[in-house]
């Protein structure tokens, strides 16, 4: 693995809410890791950022992956290339439900959870890190099922299908925690506990660690149910571009009021009836920053570092010692913005000039068809890449 020097950086958006902007004009990468800042060491690959910003690769906090880079729900082939080119370097699975024929029942649920965890531990479609370790709770599961899942690599469970009783829901939560797994719930549109009187009562029974697509996917929960989770429990939440965008803004404003943006992650809920939203996380950052008081550097954190910390992923921040999962981003040609952060605040996703995962330049590739991006995403400052 070669070394990389990125120099002439305009701004570093760190992905860390505690210090979202770093004072660094260069980064040195080796062994796939950020080794030094503000250095000019010799490297195998030199990238002149020409004043562009550097930020962590985006993480889609709410995704439903299939295997490899095919998705049968929307018959999408090769969609992960579009994700990667849009700056997404991580996809968090919120449940593998898309197997054709949708096998149901405890055994199938455990098998699919383990399959997803172990497949994506070895395969990176288009170079993207897919965190596939999620299992959907099936009615009738017992603690032995949870134990087998955890031993097979499952780290999250998701309530998506209704379970019949409050007792079973509470048991599943307890078993998950006993085996070190986080509890996610689908929010909105569906009562997840059969004997609960309402969708909201079911959420109160489960009390998830992560309220998944709290702005709906696609149907939003009642606002009082979403507010209850944020006011009365310590849960983290993800909000998705495929959900209700008005409620997403209310959730951002509520958590800003609490001073607790560290509870909020951005995702897409792909695939949705709208398809695979390859650029959805970047669009969502820009939408939220342009329609609320959210700072663009904070929006970056919700799409990177907060998600990594919440789900225990070793990525998501620009910091010495961390894996070099990075983007070089700028304003787009033809807009008034001067840099990537201004572009986000203006409501536009930044132009992605380069994508780096584990210190390797994935995009642009060495032989890139010229003009490919014309009219779509031309960076105002295009990085100059020198391979030795």
Binding stretches for Zn ion (CB under 5 A): 94, 217, 269
Q: Rank residues 35 and 272 by Cβ distance to Zn ion and give the closer one.
A: 272
Compare residues 268 and 381 and give the one whose CB is closer to Zn ion.
268
Q: Are 57 and 327 spatial neighbours (Cβ–Cβ below 8 Å)?
A: yes
Beta carbon of residue 270, minimum distance to Zn ion (angstroms, whole number) = 9
H-state helical runs in the chain: 79-85, 106-122, 143-151, 166-178, 199-206, 223-232, 245-258, 280-291, 296-302, 305-311, 340-345
Least distance to Zn ion, CB of residue 366, Å? 36
Spatial separation of the C-alpha atoms in residues 291 and 95, rounded to whole Å: 30
Output 134 or 289, the one with its CB closest to Zn ion: 134
**CA dihedral angle for residue 252, residue 270, residue 129, residue 19, rounded to 10 degrees:** -10
Tell me, rounded to whole angstroms, the distance of Cα 29 from its chain centroid.
23
Nearer to Zn ion, 175 or 241 (CB): 241
CB of 84 to Zn ion, least distance (A): 21
In the complex, the smallest distance separating the C-beta of residue 274 from Zn ion, rounded to whole angstroms, is 13
Residues with Cβ within 8 Å of 109's Cβ and at least 6 positions away in sequence, in order, are 135, 136, 137, 138, 141, 145
| Cα-only R_g, the chain | 21
Question: Least distance (Å) from Zn ion to the CB of residue 217?
Answer: 5
Q: Which is nearer to Zn ion, 67 or 97 (CB)?
A: 97
d(CA 269, CA 237): 13
Question: Measured from the CB atom, is 62 or 129 closer to Zn ion?
Answer: 62
The number of CA neighbours under 13 Å toward the Cβ of 137 is 31
Which CB sits closer to Zn ion, 43 or 91? Answer: 91
| Minimal distance, residue 185 CB to Zn ion, in Å | 11
DSSP state of 79: H
Tokens 């990468």 -> residue: 29
Our CA dihedral for 361, 366, 371, 372, rounded to 10 degrees, sits at -60
Q: What angle do CA 211, 94, 141 make, to 5 degrees?
A: 90
**Residue 57: CB minimum distance to Zn ion, A:** 21
């Amino acid at each position: 693995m070669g070394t990389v020097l990125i120099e002439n950086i305009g701004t570093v958006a760190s992905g860390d809410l505690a210090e979202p902007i770093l004072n660094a004009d260069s980064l040195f990468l080796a062994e796939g890791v950020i080794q030094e800042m503000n250095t000019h060491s010799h490297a195998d690959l030199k990238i002149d950022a020409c004043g562009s910003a550097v930020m962590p690769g985006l993480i889609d906090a709410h995704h439903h992956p299939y295997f490899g880079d095919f998705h049968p729900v929307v018959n999408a082939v090769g969609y992960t290339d579009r994700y990667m080119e849009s700056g997404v370097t991580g996809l968090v699975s919120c449940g593998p439900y898309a197997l054709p024929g949708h096998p149901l029942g405890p055994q199938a649920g455990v098998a699919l959870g383990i399959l997803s965890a172990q497949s994506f531990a070895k395969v990176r479609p288009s170079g993207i890190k897919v965190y596939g370790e999620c299992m959907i709770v099936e009615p009738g599961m017992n603690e032995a099922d949870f134990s087998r899942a955890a031993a097979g690599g499952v780290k999250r469970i998701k309530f998506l299908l209704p379970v019949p009783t409050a007792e079973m829901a509470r048991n599943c939560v307890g078993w998950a925690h006993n085996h070190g797994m986080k509890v996610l719930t689908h929010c909105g549109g569906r009562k997840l506990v059969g004997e609960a009187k309402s969708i909201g009562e079911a959420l109160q029974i489960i009390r998830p660690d992560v309220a998944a697509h709290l702005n709906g996917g696609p149907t939003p929960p009642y606002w009082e149910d979403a507010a209850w989770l944020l006011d009365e429990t310590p849960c983290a939440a993800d909000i998705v571009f495929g959900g209700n965008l008005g409620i997403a803004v209310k959730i951002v404003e509520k958590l800003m009021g609490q001073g607790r943006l560290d509870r909020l992650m951005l995702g897409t809920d792909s695939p949705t009836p709208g398809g695979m939203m390859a650029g959805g996380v970047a669009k969502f950052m820009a939408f939220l920053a342009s329609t609320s008081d959210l700072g663009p550097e904070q929006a970056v954190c919700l799409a990177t570092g907060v998600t990594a910390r919440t789900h225990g992923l070793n990525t998501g921040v620009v910091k010495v010692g961390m894996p070099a999962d990075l983007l070089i981003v700028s304003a787009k040609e033809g807009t008034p913005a001067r840099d990537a952060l201004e572009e986000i605040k203006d409501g536009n996703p930044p132009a992605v000039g380069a994508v780096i995962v584990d210190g390797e330049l994935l995009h642009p590739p060495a032989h890139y068809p010229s003009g490919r991006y014309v009219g779509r995403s031309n960076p105002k400052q295009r990085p100059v890449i020198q391979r030795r």
